[in-house]
């Protein structure tokens, strides 16, 4: 019995040792990025991998940061919160990364932020949008991209500024995720403040297989505008498809969420994607020549046009590199992390994503942000799918073309 116990303990020890493989000592500046590389979110993890990769290549080709090369270490969190915590801990304590980024989905990002705050490592958020991430007073967490409640700003401006565009009634269909709830909440608050009657307020479970019942319900109320929020691309595609099949006939279809802004949307829906608005697929100002150049470079390298995720991932590496460059790095991991944090507080730069300066301010729904990009309210744009291409249409300063409104593909 004793021997069995001892052999068991030995095996246990060896296994645990094997699992916690210490990082090879390398002279690179390490950035950790938990991402979903398996499971339904895998395509997004892949986008970030490509984006980080391109940025790292460029920076290293130009001599790296103060002579040292940078490296992004990606680890799969499988879209599970507990796994995200494990992966973040591993990156921080085993791989000894200086900075964390990534996360992709808000649930995992909140967990990563919690870990980063406790283990005193800067977490520079590139994409996750839950307000709570920068609204809990975490001084180690910074965010470049807009929060969920800011997303609808451009849409709000559109309906306020374009004559006759204020909805006479609105149906809002959103998914039951943090993302869906935050955005719908923000949009609904604004619409209600303008006394727009909300005829449908429907939350659906993420990855629904069938939206025909929802759309039947929506159609029976004949909404003037149909707002759809979807964190998953699959939901975005099916929502639009079923809405059109059932025959919902608003003056405008407006989509909120990553799924409405990816190439797949038009590729899979074809003509059914025509005239659908996509809010907050902010991917840089397409009228800016530097940004256009980036799009082309990315397309040449990977064969796909970068959108929201790719631009955010690419930009964040530059943000981190900039902070690393200004920080006095000594090789002592703890001191370096603090130095980078101090450098981030002083960040004042422009990336292909847009202008960036971290600050403390109050969001549209009153959330107290810390280290949130003060230019975020500008990073909301209303785009529209026209002939298979997503083009910015509002505000005018970011517009690539004029909008089409009311929707002329729908028979009323």
Pick out residues in 261-280 that bind other proteins (CB under 8 A): 264, 268, 270-272
What distances in angstroms separate CA 359 from CA 106, 304, 318, 346, 375, one per listed residue? 21, 34, 19, 10, 9
Residue 111 CB, nearest approach to other proteins (Å): 5
Distance between CA atoms of residues 315 and 403, nearest Å: 28
Q: Does 198 bind other proteins (CB under 8 A)?
A: no
Q: Does 20 bind other proteins (CB under 8 A)?
A: yes
Distance between CA atoms of residues 53 and 77, nearest Å: 19
Residue 162 phi, psi dihedral angles, 5° rounding: -80, 130
**Considering only 38-46, 62-70, 294-302, 344-352, which stretch makes contact with other proteins by CB under 8 A?**
38-46
Applying CB under 8 A, which of residues 60, 86, 370, 409 lies at the interface with other proteins?
86
Q: Does 8 bind other proteins (CB under 8 A)?
A: yes
Residue 253 · residue 276 · CB < 8 Å? yes
Q: Does 400 bind other proteins (CB under 8 A)?
A: no
Residue 292 · residue 286 · CB < 8 Å? yes
**Considering only 25-33, 80-88, 292-300, 326-334, which stretch makes contact with other proteins by CB under 8 A?**
80-88
Residue 91 · residue 112 · CB < 8 Å? no
What distances in angstroms separate CA 354 from CA 6, 38, 51, 89, 319, one per listed residue? 60, 30, 16, 31, 11
Q: Does 197 bind other proteins (CB under 8 A)?
A: no
Q: Does 359 bind other proteins (CB under 8 A)?
A: no
C-beta of 368 vs 395, nearer to other proteins: 368
Cis-peptide, bond into residue 276, ω within 30° of zero: no
Applying CB under 8 A, which of residues 127, 219, 337, 341 lies at the interface with other proteins?
219
Residue 194 CB, nearest approach to other proteins (Å): 17
Q: Does 217 bind other proteins (CB under 8 A)?
A: yes
Residue 292 CB, nearest approach to other proteins (Å): 25
Residue 326 · residue 341 · CB < 8 Å? no
| CA contacts within 13 A on the Cβ side of 53 | 11
Residue 235 CB, nearest approach to other proteins (Å): 10
**Considering only 208-216, 314-322, 342-350, 388-396, which stretch makes contact with other proteins by CB under 8 A?**
208-216
Q: Does 71 bind other proteins (CB under 8 A)?
A: no
Residue 100 · residue 88 · CB < 8 Å? yes
Q: Which of 325, 324, 297, 323 is nearest to 311 (CA)?
A: 297
Residue 45 · residue 74 · CB < 8 Å? yes
Applying CB under 8 A, which of residues 70, 72, 114, 191 lies at the interface with other proteins?
114
Applying CB under 8 A, which of residues 160, 168, 194, 290 lies at the interface with other proteins?
168
Q: Does 246 bind other proteins (CB under 8 A)?
A: yes
C-beta of 107 vs 313, nearer to other proteins: 107
Q: Does 310 bind other proteins (CB under 8 A)?
A: no
Q: Does 160 bind other proteins (CB under 8 A)?
A: no
Phi-psi region of 390 (alpha: psi -120 to 50; beta: other; left: phi over 0): beta
- Interaction mask 124-143, other proteins, x per CB under 8 A: ------x-x---xxx-----
Applying CB under 8 A, which of residues 233, 283, 347, 373 lies at the interface with other proteins?
233
Q: Which of 74, 78, 94 is nearest to 34 (CA)?
A: 74
Cis-peptide, bond into residue 406, ω within 30° of zero: yes
Applying CB under 8 A, which of residues 28, 30, 58, 81 lies at the interface with other proteins?
81
Q: Does 354 bind other proteins (CB under 8 A)?
A: no
């Amino acid at each position: 019995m004793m021997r069995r116990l001892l052999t068991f303990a030995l095996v246990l020890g060896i296994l645990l040792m094997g699992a916690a493989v210490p990082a090879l000592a390398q002279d690179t500046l390490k950035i950790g990025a938990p991402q979903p590389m398996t499971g339904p979110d895998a395509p997004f993890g892949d986008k970030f991998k490509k984006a980080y990769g391109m940025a790292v290549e460029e920076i290293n080709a130009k001599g790296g940061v103060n002579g040292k090369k940078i490296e992004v270490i990606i680890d799969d969190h499988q879209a599970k919160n507990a796994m995200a915590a494990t992966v973040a801990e591993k990156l921080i304590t085993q791989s000894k990364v200086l900075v964390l980024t990534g996360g992709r989905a808000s649930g995992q990002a909140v967990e990563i932020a919690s870990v980063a705050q406790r283990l005193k490592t800067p977490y520079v958020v590139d994409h996750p949008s839950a307000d709570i991430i920068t609204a809990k007073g975490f001084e180690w967490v910074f965010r470049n991209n807009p929060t969920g409640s800011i997303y609808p700003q451009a849409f709000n401006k559109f309906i306020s500024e374009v004559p006759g565009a204020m909805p006479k009634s609105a149906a809002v269909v959103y998914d039951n995720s943090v993302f869906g709830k935050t955005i719908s909440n923000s949009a609904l608050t604004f619409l209600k403040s303008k006394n727009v009657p909300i005829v449908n307020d429907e939350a659906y479970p993420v990855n629904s297989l069938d939206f025909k019942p929802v759309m039947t319900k929506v159609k029976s109320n004949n909404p003037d505008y149909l707002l759809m929020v979807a964190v998953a691309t699959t939901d975005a595609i099916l929502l639009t498809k079923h809405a059109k099949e059932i025959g919902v006939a608003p003056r405008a279809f407006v989509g909120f969420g990553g799924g409405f802004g990816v190439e797949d949307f038009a590729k899979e829906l074809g003509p059914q994607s025509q005239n659908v608005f996509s809010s907050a697929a902010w991917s840089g100002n397409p009228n800016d020549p530097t940004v256009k150049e980036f799009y082309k470079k990315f397309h040449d390298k990977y064969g796909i046009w970068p959108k929201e995720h790719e631009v955010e991932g690419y930009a964040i590496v530059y943000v981190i590199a900039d902070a690393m460059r200004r920080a006095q790095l000594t090789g002592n991991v703890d001191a370096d992390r603090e130095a980078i944090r101090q450098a981030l507080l002083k960040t004042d730069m422009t990336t292909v994503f847009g202008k960036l300066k971290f600050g403390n301010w109050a969001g549209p729904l009153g959330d107290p942000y810390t280290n949130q990009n003060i230019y975020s309210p500008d990073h909301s744009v209303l785009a529209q799918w026209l002939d298979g291409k997503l083009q910015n249409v509002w505000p005018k300063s970011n517009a690539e073309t004029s909008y089409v409104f009311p929707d002329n593909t729908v028979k009323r």
